[in-house]
Amino acid sequence: MDREILVGKSAQEWFRERVSDALSHRSLQIQEVTEFYLVNLLASFLERERLFCPRSAVEHAAGDVLDEPLALILLRALAADRHARVRELRRLGDTALFVCGFFGDSLARSAVDVDYYVAMGERAYGTLADAERGWAGAPFGELSDRFGDFVDLFAEIAELSDLRSNRGLVRLYERFLATGSARVAELLRARGVALLGGPGGATRSLKH
């Protein structure tokens, strides 16, 4: 994580800039309350215990996201009292979004794929949108309906935050090889990585 978070500005301020930049770059328009929610979600995940898994994906020895029984967590949340249900549904939705966005490449090597996390995240946020009213529930409908957009948004933030290291550049190139994403290709070219004649060149069509 960039030391700028620790020196000179708060995590909320740092992530507010990252979210704003990524939204502008992707030409995404979202509710102000949803943007506020995303900024605080990202800042809160600096605390490791916010994840359901006992160790964050980045700490796992094999580099893989740990397989968590999100469907069972969803069932327990739905059976709980209202206060516990809201709390656990938020944790479930937030975890699914964070893991998909920041560790989607690791999920490709996991027994549980991205689609599973997406389905759990959409369900958790959708249930919250139906249950909550007024300002408290305002972001959840948008988070559920546009979950894929927010996964891509978080992926871009993760990529841009990682580009200053060679290891981050290698991870970014591995993501491109796995997905053929035009967005990832653009980030690689901005760092001087030549893709002509290789993956993403004339012999391969880019995915958007």
Please give the chain's pLDDT, 208 residues, in tens.
Answer: 444 444 456 778 888 999 999 999 899 999 999 999 999 998 887 654 455 543 333 344 334 444 457 778 788 888 888 888 998 899 899 989 988 888 877 776 666 778 888 999 999 999 999 888 777 788 999 999 999 999 999 998 888 776 556 656 667 777 777 777 787 788 777 766 666 444 444 334 455 5
CA separation for the pair 23, 160 (Å, rounded):
13
**CA-CA distance, 19 to 37, in Å (whole number)?**
11
> Which two three-digit tokens encode residue 129?
């949108």
Mention every residue, 6+ apart, whose C-beta is less than 8 A from residue 124. Answer: 74, 77, 89, 90, 92, 93, 96
For the chain, the residue count is 208
Host H or E run for residue 74: helix 70-79
